[in-house]
Structure 1
């Protein structure tokens, strides 16, 4: 069992901001993000209950304590507002989990062998905190070659998905985790994994984990590619400004 103070973020850490590619999507990297990251690893190793990560995720996930979800949510609010345009009138929610890529390349479905986007609304954000070292690979961001899209916003999703489906019908079989030499995508940015490094970006950015093929991807948090992942969602409230009560993260 760990205490709520073990979830404290390091407010002395300085965010580094980058604009990615030709579409200038913001990317925030914060090193030494948590004051006690080793205690998060300890919790994941001794108390978290991992299970299937969902249809799209090639590995396992485990719930985090709600206090950790809340601490991360409020720590990221200033960046969400100042960099990504989230306002005080947006209703916010966030879900956070431990996540471990564990599927061997030959087990992947086609969608898992492609760069992807998580959701299309422009205020939805994704967070990754690496709780593993740099040997496990980081995160790579892409441009879809034929459309030039680096982000899949709501107005682009239908045409992009249709174009990608057409291309896949005419492209030799694609398998394995996405790498830097993809037949349909070009790399626009890479972030190296580093223990206790936090990465924040819009969920609409085309991206993929950098998954090292020579690694044995264990489901043991003490031995595998352990990360903390979160999705922050913002929605314009139905009630008028001034009548807003901010939701706690779910």
Structure 2
């Protein structure tokens, strides 16, 4: 289902970072498990300013503890505060009918830049971010070239589309068994059905589009144009990524 969202239009100005007062939201329930995936178009009031913020003063680094195939840069605190408040208002309208607020955890600009030959096996298959059912992931596309969106998957052997605490051990055991019996995945970005995974839903990337989904949903970025991967935030596959926790409030 799709609808327009209304935030306080006085929030938006050319001088500040704010969500677009007239962004549009489409909610889909994907796969057999009917996981909610929200697509928000025209997300920021001034997305070009976010790109400029990402590009200024460098600051992108690669962490050996991060499975992300590229570089990260911590998001400015003031932008994070605005995102936490205004995204919470949107979710009250569209995610469910219960009052709630959100707390942002990890928040950063990201640049995918690792060539396929240098990917680790875990970077070549879908992944989940957390087994916590109250956590959601946000990916905001801040690039205009056709550098790929996000897809969601079902693990064929277990049938899992999401990985909860109760499923995590079985899922990891199944992956390890398949690695030893069927071999490691090819050194490439996953772009659809494989012998291990079935793609169940795709969100194409558009400039200033955001996609929000449960952190335990198996997913992967679609990277169709590896020649376009760049370290430059102005031309590369720049996204704003965040993990948020939805806190239910008593009426």
TM-score in same-fold range (> 0.5): yes
- Per-residue deviation, residues 19-78 of structure 1 (Å, max 9, x unmatched): 001100000001100010001111111235111144311100001111111111112214
Q: Secondary structure at the match of 2:227?
A: coil
Q: Secondary structure at the match of 2:16?
A: helix
| Contact persistence 1:26–1:84 (CA under 8 A) | no
Greater shift in the superposed pair: 194-203 or 73-82: 73-82
Task: Give 1:183 shift.
Answer: 1.7
CA distance in 2, matches of 1:93, 1:14: 22
| Contact persistence 2:104–2:242 (CA under 8 A) | no
Structure 2: unaligned runs, 5 residues or longer? 1-12
Tell me which of 210, 217, 228 is aligned to 2:240. Answer: 228
Task: Give 1:86 shift.
Answer: 7.8
Pair 118,86 (structure 1): closer, same or farther in 2 beyond 3 Å: farther
Task: Give 1:162 shift.
Answer: 0.9
1:180 maps onto 2:166 in alignment: no
Q: Secondary structure at the match of 1:168?
A: helix
- Once the two structures are superposed, the pairs formed by residues 56-205 of structure 1 within 5 Å of their partners are 56-81=67-92, 83=95, 88=100, 92-133=103-144, 135-174=146-185, 175-205=187-217
CA distance in 1, matches of 2:194, 2:237: 23
1:17 maps onto 2:33 in alignment: no
CA distance in 1, matches of 2:98, 2:153: 24
CA distance in 2, matches of 1:118, 1:204: 6
Structure 1: unaligned runs, 5 residues or longer? 243-250
1:27 maps onto 2:37 in alignment: yes
Equivalent residue, structure 2, for 1:246: none
CA distance in 2, matches of 1:91, 1:33: 17
Pair 84,128 (structure 1): closer, same or farther in 2 beyond 3 Å: farther
Pair 91,209 (structure 1): closer, same or farther in 2 beyond 3 Å: closer
1:40 maps onto 2:65 in alignment: no
| Contact persistence 2:28–2:38 (CA under 8 A) | yes
CA distance in 1, matches of 2:218, 2:192: 13
| Contact persistence 1:179–1:210 (CA under 8 A) | yes
TM-align CA RMSD: 2.3
Q: Secondary structure at the match of 2:229?
A: coil
| Contact persistence 2:98–2:248 (CA under 8 A) | no
Equivalent residue, structure 1, for 2:7: none
Q: Secondary structure at the match of 2:232?
A: coil
TM-score by length of 2: 0.86
Pair 200,85 (structure 1): closer, same or farther in 2 beyond 3 Å: farther
Task: Give 1:170 shift.
Answer: 1.1
Equivalent residue, structure 2, for 1:248: none
Task: Give 1:91 shift.
Answer: 7.7
